[in-house]
Chains A and B, each alone.
Chain A
Amino acid sequence: AQKITQTQPGMFVQEKEAVTLDCTYDTSDQSYGLFWYKQPSSGEMIFLIYQGSYDEQNATEGRYSLNFQKARKSANLVISASQLGDSAMYFCALSYGNNRLAFGKGNQVVVIP
């Protein structure tokens, strides 16, 4: 079975600082994808970044980068230069099978001015 673990408690980060959100996963599949989604208080899930299991380079999308360590089965999200609008829940997800997603429990981030 696929499993995503996000265990950090709620995090406070100073505006303009970087923050790293931890994600570890467990899967027996050789081919899979890792996603990060942002869920603000409005409730909508917003796609941030994707990493394929065979991608050799870490994915980057603007201020978001994914630190992919395949041997350790970790896919941490780094948000650089935090903004007030980054305050939200962040979910790590693993895609498998028919691209169905298995989500972790999420990390709460609060950016303070």
Chain B
Amino acid sequence: GAGVSQTPSNKVTEKGKYVELRCDPISGHTALYWYRQSLGQGPEFLIYFQGTGAADDSGLPNDRFFAVRPEGSVSTLKIQRTERGDSAVYLCASSQGWLGEQYFGPGTRLTVT
């Protein structure tokens, strides 16, 4: 079956602009996670959804970052007033329930110029 998909695969934006990154999880997976991976590092947790609600958003670095999952499937990560330090690969993962292995998408590479 289809895996986790993310769009766009690459996004270049200017400092100060607003961006939206989309994640389409595996069908039937109720848990959805966002991570951020900087160059040479492992992914860092941002936010976790169980169904439609954000069950844990403790990894969001500041209030410029926000994510939604209105119908319990597709999720959008939104970044306001982007800064150069936001440049990274943003990874989305889903799992069946809140336990079990997470399946990752290919990521969105965000570059803020």
Contact = CB atoms under 8 A, between A and B. Distances in A.
B101 A45 contact: no
Given A43-B89, A91-B42, A99 B105 contact: no
A44 B56 contact: no
Interface residues of B, number: 29
Contact of A104 (B31, B42, B45, B103): B42
Nearest to A97: B56
Interface string B80-113: 0000000001010101001111111111010000
Given A50-B101, A99-B31, A104-B42, A43 B95 contact: no
A77 to B, nearest CB: 14
Q: Is the interface of A mostly helix, strand, loop or mixed?
A: strand
A57 interface: no
B56 A45 contact: no
A13 to B, nearest CB: 21
A98 interface: yes
Contacts, number: 61
Given A98-B56, A99-B48, A105 B41 contact: yes
Interface string B40-51: 111111001010
Contacts of B40: 105
B42 A103 contact: yes
Interface string A82-93: 000000000101
Interface of B: 31, 33, 35, 40-45, 48, 50, 55-56, 59, 89, 91, 93, 95, 98-107, 109
